[in-house]
Structure 1
Amino acid sequence: MTALISRRAAIGAALAAPVIWGQDAVAQIRRGDELTVGVWGGMQERILREFVATPLEQQHGVKINFVLGGTTDRRARAYAERGRPSFDIVYLNIFESRQAVKDGVTQDVTGNVPNAAYLYPVAKLGGYGVAFNPVTIVYDKRKVAPMTSWRDFWRDDLKGKIIWPTYPGAQGTSALLMAAKIWGGSETNIDPAFTHIAALKPFAAIQASQDQLYAMFDQEVGAASIEFGSFTRVYAETRNPNIIIADPTEGQAVATNVACITTGTTKQALADAWVNLHLSPACQRAYAERIYYSPTVNNVELPPELAAKLVMGPAAVDKLVDFDWDLVIRNQARWSNRFTREIAG
């Protein structure tokens, strides 16, 4: 994918963003300060270095330290260091971030981040949502008729063609909760989900990761699954044009990457500035152009052909399906055991 903004123009736009900052907050950022950021690697890291880290380092004479990896390790470290953090920013997923605020590990949204004023309401829960990455139906258009509803998994023509996502995990959790929703259940009544998912067996396979699913699609092991739409769109446009990312009538399951400022950070002003740049139109646009992450702010303009591939605008965001994540997390161990017995077994 070709970015629509040059590196020089993007950095220039990012450097300009702190102009809207209150002068008192800027004065608290001291030359030589170091900010430690725990985040995923790959393209996300590269975008953050270009649009956030480099502008801050150049403008304020600070140093940004990246700690790369998955959420499990950095979440555990953040909890172990609660109140005396070595991280200043940790990136978490939708349910981890909300719980971390309740547990006093990270901070809720404040008025110290100007660009947070443009966040959609669902992106203000548990910190600063920086990207929507919904989970949805993905399928091979050569193998099955168009899928427009989560109920389509129970169509006769999909028998033996379904690659179901493992549980727990974002994809498997979304699949379980959406199955409960469409068959009359909910987070408080998960039985309809397990009953109906079990009725889909035998599956073509159980998938535990995007890479595994895409290899299965390549090998034509199965024809339909549940996955992050953004990653699957990249896969479809670079490897397998037969794969369709569906927009089901009931909505896609919300998933959000969240920038969380740790409670007790000694670099509060610099952390606020970091988040402000991540929410800037330039950075949000880069996420959309390079990895199809949808903006969490309402002040980003994108070309129509790109916007059509994303969750854009209040109506589309309102259609995302959210859940009671506290309840989901409390039941995770029990549901995981049940998934192993009734679905994967």
Structure 2
Amino acid sequence: MLSRRLVLQAGLATVAAPALVRAQPGLSGTITLMSYAGIFQDNYTKAVIEPFQQAHPGVKVNYVPGGTSAQMVGSARAQKADPQVDVTIMDVTTSSIGNSEGLFEKLTPAEFPVLNELLPEARAAGGDYGPAVTFDHLVLVYDATLQPPLAKLADLWRPDLKGLLAVSAPPNIQGLALTAMVEKMEGGDHRKSIDAAIRKLKALAPSVNTFEPNPDGYSLILNGVVKVATGWNARSQLYADQTSGKIATLLPPEGSVFQINTINLTTGSKNRAVAAAFVNHALSQPAQKAFTERMFYAPTNGKAQIDPKAIARTAAAPESRSRMIDLDWNEVIKVRDQWNNRWRREVVTAR
């Protein structure tokens, strides 16, 4: 579980001035980064990619939207013999598949000294491979006009919400996270069994409008298709700002779980020097600070000095951290297929 260090090492004591970007000669060429589309792409480009390109005028970073993490690892697998992508950012439960298949490289502190600045949990997430580049947590997102407003996870079963829910089912990691949350709500422990969660989720199925929100639950709420959706805190915070509060966010008192995105260097990258430099940059203090303050993902670099107001809206906030369920994604990966199959057979079919 992400520990107290996530707060204490996130730089709450001081707010560092923005790092000055200075052009650095030597690197040149083009690399391709594949990750999430939409607001993640827009904000990551502004906060991380553009400063990197300013520091290296001879470098161009092409951002390719990769769809879901499962689609991204599928693309990497299809390109294994002739990689077209140099760096990927995806969910840890999926990047682990790429690691096991040799799609991504192992990273060493000798070549990537920034690894020594990362929180222990960030290093552990990817093992010897790409570490965590962002932390987040699952929330319930809902129409701010909903009355009464959501107050707890159990409110998903309210009769007035029948047909008005968007729930991302596995293999989407949101579904895996929700499984652990519901199991805890029902008094169980996901490490021993998910029977209670599956029974409860089966009872929820008739209230679900879609188990595959397209393009996402936030958009379905804004378009009036549903009233409540599962979502990620960072995105919900940004959507709330962009829509003047039309979207509200609930961190369930019953508990939530951390989500981890890793940054991965493709095996056989055609411009490895630039790709490696970008990975170092993405994990650096300035890049982590800039992205956290722009999009409210919690930083993984323990030395990054983050504005306390931004930290308060992230997974590193004390209130958020205190509600986190002790979930080890490396252990969930081992039972992921079992959970996926139970959702398909018992939950989705009950809709």
Q: How far apart in 2 are the matches of 1:264 and 1:214?
A: 37
TM-score (norm. length: structure 1): 0.76
Residue equivalent to 2:338: 331
Structure 2: state its 5+ residue gaps: 1-16
TM-score (norm. length: structure 2): 0.75
**CA deviation profile, 1:24-76 (whole Å, cap 9, x unmatched):** xxxxx965444332233431234333122332x32xx3443443332444422
Let me know the Cα RMSD of the aligned residues: 3.5
Matched, 1:194 2:198: yes
Task: Check conservation: 1:90, 1:259, Cα contact below 8 A.
Answer: yes
Match of 1:235 among 217, 221, 239: 239
Task: Check conservation: 1:136, 1:246, Cα contact below 8 A.
Answer: yes
Shift of 1:222: 5.3
Q: How far apart in 1 are the matches of 2:324 and 2:315?
A: 9
AA aligned to 2:31 is L
AA aligned to 1:107 is E
Q: How far apart in 2 are the matches of 1:294 and 1:30?
A: 32
Q: 1:49 to 1:215 in 2, by over 3 A?
A: closer
Shift of 1:282: 2.3
Match of 2:140 among 137, 157, 161: 137
Residue equivalent to 2:47: 47
Q: 1:53 to 1:255 in 2, by over 3 A?
A: farther
Shift of 1:96: 0.9
1:189-228 to structure 2, matched below 5 A, reads: 189-200=193-204, 202-203=206-207, 205-206=209-210, 208-209=212-213, 213-218=217-222, 223-228=227-232
Q: 1:224 to 1:247 in 2, by over 3 A?
A: same
Shift of 1:128: 2.4
Match of 1:38 among 34, 40, 61: 34
AA aligned to 1:121 is P
Residue equivalent to 2:10: none
Q: How far apart in 1 are the matches of 2:197 and 2:205?
A: 13
Residue equivalent to 1:76: 74
AA aligned to 1:293 is Y
Matched, 1:163 2:165: yes
Report the 3-state secondary structure (helix = DSSP H, G, I; strand = E; otherwise coil) of the residue aligned with 2:236: helix
Q: 1:164 to 1:266 in 2, by over 3 A?
A: closer
Matched, 1:289 2:296: no
Residue equivalent to 2:115: 116
Q: How far apart in 2 are the matches of 1:177 and 1:275?
A: 31
Task: Check conservation: 1:30, 1:62, Cα contact below 8 A.
Answer: no
Report the 3-state secondary structure (helix = DSSP H, G, I; strand = E; otherwise coil) of the residue aligned with 1:134: strand
AA aligned to 2:113 is P
Match of 2:177 among 155, 174, 186: 174
Q: How far apart in 2 are the matches of 1:76 and 1:218?
A: 31
Report the 3-state secondary structure (helix = DSSP H, G, I; strand = E; otherwise coil) of the residue aligned with 1:132: strand
Aligned length: 320
AA aligned to 1:325 is V
AA aligned to 1:166 is S
Residue equivalent to 2:257: 253
Task: Check conservation: 1:53, 1:274, Cα contact below 8 A.
Answer: no
Q: Percent identity?
A: 23
Q: How far apart in 2 are the matches of 1:37 and 1:73?
A: 14
Report the 3-state secondary structure (helix = DSSP H, G, I; strand = E; otherwise coil) of the residue aligned with 1:301: coil
Match of 2:20 among 13, 24, 42: 13
Residue equivalent to 1:67: 64
Q: How far apart in 2 are the matches of 1:216 and 1:35?
A: 34
Residue equivalent to 2:278: 274
Residue equivalent to 2:91: 93
Task: Check conservation: 1:210, 1:227, Cα contact below 8 A.
Answer: no
Q: 1:102 to 1:69 in 2, by over 3 A?
A: closer
Shift of 1:274: 0.9
Q: How far apart in 1 are the matches of 2:121 and 2:337?
A: 21
- Large movers: runs of 4+ above 6 Å: none
Shift of 1:219: 6.2
